[in-house]
Chain A
Amino acid sequence: MNARISHLFGAVVVALVALIAMTTYWQVWARGSLEARQSNVRLVYRDLEIERGAIISADGIVLADSEPGRLDGRDVFLRRYPEQGLAAQLVGYSSLLAGRAGLERSLDPELTGSTSDLAGVRNSFDRMRGDTVRGDDVVLRLVAAAQQTAMDRLREAGRAGSVVVLDPSNGGVLVMASTPTFDPNEGLVEALDAPGSPLLNRATQGLYPPGSTFKVVTAASALDNGVVEVSTEFPAGDCIETGGQELCNFNGKDPGEHDFGYALVHSVNTTLATVGIELGDERLEATMAGFGFFKRIPWDYPADQNLASGIYNRRGNQVRPGANVDEARLAIGQERLLATPLQMALVAAAVANGGQLVQPQAVQEVRAPDGSVTRRPQAVFLGRAMTTETAGELRLLMRQVVDEGTGATAAVEGLDVAGKTGTAETGEEGLNDAWFIGFAPASAPRYAIAVLVERTAGTGGDVAAPIAADVLRTLSGS
């Protein structure tokens, strides 16, 4: 029996040595690739050991910071959002349960001090020594007071919506509001599948028919291409025939004989559509590209949380420029043209800026833990959307829209507001997407704004323009 007992022992030796071999495989051979797996929850836990930098508004309100806590005997830092839903989609979140989104994701290297420059290298030494790594603080261009006004007014409107305000001179994002919102401290898990998609940043991910606000782009194209002048005369009439269908003015109104300027100020569909046909889709789409349409807008926000504005087919895919479109309907912001509020704010900013398209910028400056400024972004211009002359003419016309046209409700005492309203039919009876885009002060613009209210019974002038007025009033302090 002893020989057989030895055989048995041999089998046990083989089995147990196989365990050591397998353990070695995981701990030596496969270790690196396992550590790199995104689904490895240990990565997220490890990041909690970094004191993530704060996110602060331009007017000094702390939007996100870190507070010390304990996890499995380690000192960790847990993320806190003191203003809850104030700018939840823009700021985003960094969460054990839901991962990262928004600026928390795109600014992660600076917030965790893991940039590839000298400071980042120094931090990785700290980490190896076991010292606490402190990330950089980020100061945004966001003005919390105006953001609050925007959120309050959107909530009062009782509909989902968005407000974007840019500084035309440098692209600074002064307001980026989106409703409904969520509380990143507590409500993240519920928000993941809550009705109304509160996690969606409607400013950058919401695609809406721009309606009459798009006439600014059509007018810029027509004036730039010499198709019309402001004084070009157009005949009277309530409807025209195009593409085998009737295209009529809002409420079937006949404006009488008028010039092109009057047509823009009073949003005459028939005239803008006629101009669109004359312009042709090629020239109009070239102007749109100059305004930033057809591509994701490049700025310091995660690319996949930014949708491109453009022409979409029924399946929700973007139609390439040059495809067969109905120019007449495109010219008045229909024909399945969809735009984000951020894109329409850029249109307003380009007019305000003498025709230059500016890149949006969320960050005012990045500060190291010792208070020194490590990055202060410069204004970036993405090109020219129209000539300076055209921009000057549009500025005067948009000024008239607020003075005597459809945008009168956007007027603010002591602040010259210029703008354009839009009321896009949603396809549902009696429900429109209401728009206002504009800038102020008209003579030397400091704010370019876009307001959108989803699925409302009112028009752009009724619903969106008053919200713009309130936000601009808070911003200008008047």
Chain B
Amino acid sequence: MAGHARDDAVNALLRLPARNRELALIALALLITTAGFAAVQIARAEALSWSPLIAAALFAAAYLAAHVALRLYLPDADPYVLPITAVLAAIGLIEIHRIDPDLARDQGLWIALGLGLFVAVAVAFRDIRRLESLRYTCGALAVALLLVTIVVGTEVNGARLWIRAAGLQIQPGEFAKILLVVFLAGYLRERREVLAAPARRVLGVGIPALRHALPLLILAGAALVLLVAMNDLGSSLLLFVIALAMVYVATGRLLYVGTGLGLFALGGLAALQIAPQVQTRIDGWLDPWPDEQDSAYQIAQSIYTIADGGVTGAGFGRGLILNDAGGTIIPFAQTDFIYSVIANEMGLVGASAVILLYLLLAWRGFRIATQADDGFSKLLASGLAVAVAFQAFVIVGGVVRLLPLTGLTLPFVSYGGSSVTANFAIAALLLCISQRANRERG
């Protein structure tokens, strides 16, 4: 009986038009948010304050506003993307609040700003073809942003990823990534045929004419230069993999992917000789224990923190995250190592749920790509889905010691204005593509 009742409830939910389904899921996400804040508040047993309640209310208001905007401008778009971001952003906000309430206030503001950008992008590009015509502008802008970072950037934690402007620290790489995906989607759609089936053949292998392949080669070279100039393995690997994935979707030729990965491996080996930071990270990855008090301190503490959580976790606000000086035991816990904090307080269950949310988000992204009926939209959606999923893979892989540690943020979860707002822009672009595909399918 109970099973039937539940099935009926699920069916009723699924029969709802897309936007109603989205609203119901957002309401669920908001419930999680409120419960999480309450749990932290109870666990910390500090004087009850209104600030987390206000933060939760603002969070709810921003999401409801974004939902209303979708009803107005993208009524047929995918209903799952926004709720998935809501759960991820809420988990991040709660853990950041638990680390330092002041940081959570900033993060709450950035989530609201991010949702503002989300609405702006949704309105501006509700006809996604408008973006295709801007592909070269986007490409030029991406290169300009990266160049500016290299020239006037400041180093944080050994990597040159930031520029300071008007009292704010901005990470242009997060935005350059999106612009690059837009450029590649436009460029690859244009040259897809000549790249996929080149006229010339050498030893039975098709080699594209230089004028078609040159921009891609330049891109590959640029990514390697970035690797050395920014002193950051993570960002360049991310840009490189996004580009290769899009080339693969456009041409289906594994030759390009293989050549690209080979080039990157060579470049990586070269970087090892030049950049001591990269060497340290690799050593700490291969065996952190001899250096756990100095150069491998972060990764060692990350592993201890994760292991300490066990299967069910310590509970929101009940883990051991802060040291006796009031800082975090793992440096940069709120940005690079937020996954370790989640694994500690939410356990294997919660950490797996977070990974599955990225899987769901990637699934929605790829589904939007398959449902789109023009090449540009397909390539753009694939690229954006890869961007989010692979970024999560690289940073989480680093903190669980599956990969060398890098300085990327966990999309929607990590503390940081550039990261949060850029990822909301990605979500909006996915929904714009989805709107067009779903409307045309009826």
Task: Enumerate chain A residues within 8 angstroms of B300, measured Cβ to Cβ.
Answer: 39
Report if A39-B359 is in contact (Cβ < 8 Å); known contacts: A1-B375, A1-B378, A45-B320.
no
CB <8 Å contact, B386 and A4: no
CB <8 Å contact, B307 and A6: no
Report if A27-B310 is in contact (Cβ < 8 Å); known contacts: A34-B304, A73-B317.
yes
- Chain A residue with Cβ nearest B322: A72
- Chain B residue with Cβ nearest A1: B378
- Main DSSP-derived SS at the A contact region: helix
Within 8 A of B (CB), among A10-44: 12-13, 15-16, 18-20, 22-24, 26-28, 30-31, 34-35, 37, 39-42
Check: B390 CB closer than 8 A to any chain A CB: yes
A192 CB, nearest partner CB in chain B, Å: 14
- Chain A residue with Cβ nearest B192: A1
B94 CB, nearest partner CB in chain A, Å: 14
Could you write out 11 A-B pairs with CB less than 8 Å apart? A6-B370, A12-B393, A19-B400, A23-B355, A23-B400, A27-B343, A28-B310, A28-B348, A42-B308, A71-B324, A72-B320
Report if A42-B370 is in contact (Cβ < 8 Å); known contacts: A8-B245, A16-B358, A19-B400.
no
1/0 per residue A449-460: CB within 8 Å of B? Answer: 000000000000
Check: B351 CB closer than 8 A to any chain A CB: yes
CB <8 Å contact, A4 and B252: yes
Q: A1-B378, A45-B323 are in contact. List 4 more A-B contacts (CB 8 A).
A: A9-B363, A16-B389, A23-B306, A26-B303
CB <8 Å contact, B378 and A5: yes
Alpha-carbon distance A413/B46, docked complex (angstroms): 63
Check: B44 CB closer than 8 A to any chain A CB: yes
CB <8 Å contact, A18 and B402: yes
Within 8 A of A (CB), among B306-339: 306-311, 317-318, 320-324, 329
Check: A2 CB closer than 8 A to any chain B CB: yes
Check: B392 CB closer than 8 A to any chain A CB: yes
Check: B8 CB closer than 8 A to any chain A CB: no
Check: B199 CB closer than 8 A to any chain A CB: no
Check: A194 CB closer than 8 A to any chain B CB: no
CB <8 Å contact, A23 and B351: yes
- Chain B residue with Cβ nearest A73: B44
Task: Enumerate chain B residues within 8 angstroms of A71, measured Cβ to Cβ.
Answer: 322-324
CB <8 Å contact, A6 and B44: no
Within 8 A of A (CB), among B344-379: 347-348, 351-352, 355-356, 358-359, 362-363, 366, 369-370, 375, 378-379
B284 CB, nearest partner CB in chain A, Å: 15
CB <8 Å contact, B248 and A15: no
Report if A8-B248 is in contact (Cβ < 8 Å); known contacts: A1-B375, A16-B358, A72-B320.
yes
CB <8 Å contact, A19 and B329: no
Alpha-carbon distance A143/B382, docked complex (angstroms): 78
Q: Identify the 10 closest CB pairs spanning chains A and B, nearest first.
A: A72-B322, A73-B44, A22-B400, A34-B307, A9-B366, A2-B370, A15-B393, A27-B348, A31-B307, A12-B389
Alpha-carbon distance A264/B44, docked complex (angstroms): 71
Check: A379 CB closer than 8 A to any chain B CB: no
Task: Please indicate which of the listed interface residues A24, A30, A35, A72 has the most CB atoms of chain B within 10 Å of its own CB.
Answer: A72
- Interface residues of B, Cβ cutoff 8 Å to A: 43-46, 245, 248-250, 252, 292-293, 300-301, 303-304, 306-311, 317-318, 320-324, 329, 343, 347-348, 351-352, 355-356, 358-359, 362-363, 366, 369-370, 375, 378-379, 382, 385-386, 389-390, 392-393, 396-397, 400-402
Task: Enumerate chain A residues within 8 angstroms of B317, measured Cβ to Cβ.
Answer: 73
Check: A96 CB closer than 8 A to any chain B CB: yes
CB <8 Å contact, B389 and A42: no
A109 CB, nearest partner CB in chain B, Å: 23
CB <8 Å contact, A39 and B396: no
Task: Please indicate which of the listed interface residues A15, A18, A27 has the most CB atoms of chain B within 10 Å of its own CB.
Answer: A27
Alpha-carbon distance A237/B399, docked complex (angstroms): 81
B288 CB, nearest partner CB in chain A, Å: 11
Count, chain A residues at interface, CB 8 A:
37
- Chain A residue with Cβ nearest B245: A8
Task: Enumerate chain A residues within 8 angstroms of B390, measured Cβ to Cβ.
Answer: 12, 15
- Chain A residue with Cβ nearest B378: A1
- Chain A residue with Cβ nearest B344: A27
B406 CB, nearest partner CB in chain A, Å: 14
Contact of B386 among A12, A22, A26, A41 (CB under 8 A): A12
A22 CB, nearest partner CB in chain B, Å: 4
Within 8 A of B (CB), among A288-332: none
Within 8 A of B (CB), among A36-80: 37, 39-42, 45-46, 71-74
Task: Enumerate chain B residues within 8 angstroms of A46, measured Cβ to Cβ.
Answer: 320
Contact of A30 among B307, B321, B375 (CB under 8 A): B307
Contact of B362 among A12, A18, A34, A40 (CB under 8 A): A12
- Chain A residue with Cβ nearest B301: A41
B47 CB, nearest partner CB in chain A, Å: 12
Task: Enumerate chain B residues within 8 angstroms of A42, measured Cβ to Cβ.
Answer: 304, 308, 320, 329
Task: Enumerate chain A residues within 8 angstroms of B309, measured Cβ to Cβ.
Answer: 27
B385 CB, nearest partner CB in chain A, Å: 8
Task: Enumerate chain B residues within 8 angstroms of A20, measured Cβ to Cβ.
Answer: 351-352, 355-356
CB <8 Å contact, B366 and A27: no
A132 CB, nearest partner CB in chain B, Å: 14
Alpha-carbon distance A71/B326, docked complex (angstroms): 8
Contact of A41 among B329, B343, B359, B397 (CB under 8 A): B329
Alpha-carbon distance A9/B379, docked complex (angstroms): 13
Contact of A73 among B43, B308, B323 (CB under 8 A): B43
- Chain A residue with Cβ nearest B313: A27
A287 CB, nearest partner CB in chain B, Å: 48
Alpha-carbon distance A320/B145, docked complex (angstroms): 75
CB <8 Å contact, A73 and B307: no
A370 CB, nearest partner CB in chain B, Å: 28
